[in-house]
Structures are given as structure tokens and as C-alpha cells.
Amino acid sequence: MDSPDSATISTVTLPPPPTPPPPPPSSAFTPALQHASSREDHYVASITEEHEVTCWGCGLILILSPYTPIFKCGWCGAITNHNAVKGDNSYFWWRRMRDRSFVCVLLLFMSFIIGGGIWAIYPIVFSISYFCGMLHITVSVMLSITTLSTYTLSAFRSPGAPPLIPWGSYPAVGKGRLEGYTFCNYCSKPKSSNSHHCRSCGMCVLDMDHHCPFIGNCVGAANHRVFILFLISAVISNFYVSVISSFAAFYIWPPIRNLPISVLSGPTDYMVVYGFLKEIAFSFFASVESLSLRGFVLIYLFIASVSVEIGLCVLLWQQMSFIYEGKTYLIHLSSRGSNRNSKKDCQNIVRFFGCPYSATRCLLGFWNSRKIHTK
């Protein structure tokens, strides 16, 4: 038996490593490598050139990621939108002429209502009593002055332009001074987030509610309160005109022929009721034929005042609803379909009209007070 020391150790000889294949000839490798490197240099150069953008707010150069049409500057906070395209403003003067025409027509209508009321109503009211005539003059003058003055302020006062702030240069613009501002392509100046450009007025309007063609002006931060006062005064004035014109028309209306009311005391059928209504209609139109010109003016005043009053009541209710919700009509349109809810409170109406807290404490104390529960 052999001992371990006498065992033979066999060695295994490893094969040499394979030699790498020879490189391809330079004529086949060099053009492809040069083409690839040139394409890479072209792409790098184009990306660097496209995304070095200057901020319009502070003038700093920004390096952006690819495909960034809307971005916000990290220094001044200005928002840049490359997708915003300047629209056509060639119909600006046509819109201004349209608005001024509406203003002229509305002024003529109000003048006719006031003048027609003076000519048709005053003699009738004074014929009743001197006190009624003086009371009617006092109320008419107050309503006329209030309506015309508030309408003039709404139509010819500036709706409110955004405040002018420095922009365009880094030393003049501090950090966060243009937070949320965008660039108006029409006015070529900064526009705050609560401003909107009106193409009919040709300016940016602060807290714009809507553009009203009947006043030929926008309703914004500077004239919104006066516009609401005009609506309230116009509603009250039209209601008073409708009441006083109907009273005066009834006072001077020719007597209607007596109708046989006794036919309805017995058993009636369809034909009897139809004949009775027909007699009423014939008697009414017969009395209209003998009506004077003053009576026709009173009828027109009544119909016109009621029609205008209905439209103004709808507009006033809509405006007061938006004020109660603490937003404007444009904000209501932009928030439609979103989950953004505003706080509905009577304090929004108080702040809108600028009433001091001491004057509204008693009025709103009961509304906002907590309920007291007794055990």
C-alpha cells in the first residue's frame, strides 16, 4: 500500500487565452464614427440653444427642460406662456362705436321716460291734490338724479387698471415681486392673476366682472360698486314709473260700457262665458278708440318700464349672488367644473359696499350669532 508521500501530483496545463480579433480597417471604421460624433454634437448644440430662455419679468437667462412651453421664473415669480398667441385686434374701433351707440340709445330712452312722465303724469297727479303732486315731483327728481348720475359714473369712469410695477431688468425687480404675473401680449406689460384683458376696451381690467355694452364699458374694481347702485336705482325707478303710470292711465281711462253681469248669475255654460268675455274685449277696445294721446303715452310707459324692470331684476339678482359668493362673473366661468369653492357669507356684501363694521354689527349680529340652547 502506497503512502501519501509517494503519490504523484498531476498538473493540468491551461490553454493560452484567445487572441482578440484584429480591428477592422480604418477606411471602414472612421467615417461611421465621425458621422455618429457629428450627429451627437448637433443634438447637444440644438438642445442647449433651444432651452436657454430669457425671463420677461427680470431678464435672467433660464435653462429649461425639453418641451416646456409654460414655466415660472424662480427669482421674480413671473409666468411665461409660449403658447399664448396675440389675437386680432382690428375690430377695436368697431366695438367702441357699437358700445357708444348703445350708450346713446339708452340715454335717449331714459330721457324719453323722464320727459314722457313729466308731460303725461304731472298734470294728472296735480289734478288730484297739491300734496300728491309735490310728493311725486320730489320722488321723481331724486330717482332721476340718482339713476343718471350712477349710469354716467359706470359708463365713463375707468373700470380699474392693474398697478404699474417695474419689470424687465434684474436690478429693478426684486425676488418674488412678479409672483403670479403673466405677460399681456395686447398691452405689452405685466398682468396680475386677478386681471383680464378686454379687447373692447383695449386695456387690462383689475377684478373684471364682465363687459357691458349698455354702459359701453367694463365692470371692474373701480366701477363695480357704482354699477350695482345703478341697477338698484334703475329697478326702483322703473317700479315707480310702472305704478304711477298705471294709476294715471286708470284715472283718465274712458268709461267702459256697462256689461250684463246678470247673465252669469244663473246656470252658465261654455257659450255664455265665451260671450261674456267677448263683450268685455269689445268694450275695452271701444274705450281705447276714444283714448287721448296722453293715455297712449301712459300705456307705453307702463309696458316699457315693466319690461326693463324684469331684465334689470334678473341681472341684479345674478350680480348680488356672485358678490355673496365672493367672486366675479369671470371667476365663476373659470371655476365651472372644478372643485374650487368660495366662501359664501354676507360679509362679502358688506366688504363690497365698503360699510364700516360699526354700522353693520347690529345688522349682521343676529345673522352670524350662534344659537343659544336652553336645558
- Residues noted as catalytic: 212
Question: Which grid coordinates belong to 98?
Answer: 357699437
First and final C-alpha spacing in the chain: 113
Radius of gyration (Cα) for the chain, nearest Å?
A: 40
Residue 50's contacts (CB-CB under 8 Å, 6 or more residues apart) are 66
* Three-state secondary-structure class, residue 250: helix
In sequence order, the β-bridge partners of residue 295 are: none
**Alpha helices for the chain (secondary structure H):** 26-50, 92-128, 130-156, 224-252, 270-289, 293-325, 329-334, 346-353, 357-368
User: What is the bridge-based pairing of β-strands 189-191 and 182-184?
Assistant: antiparallel
Q: Write the CB contacts of 292 (distance below 8 Å, at least 6 apart in sequence).
A: 252
Question: Distance (Å, rounded) from C-alpha 200 to C-alpha 318?
Answer: 23
Cell numbers for 68, please give them. Answer: 416646456
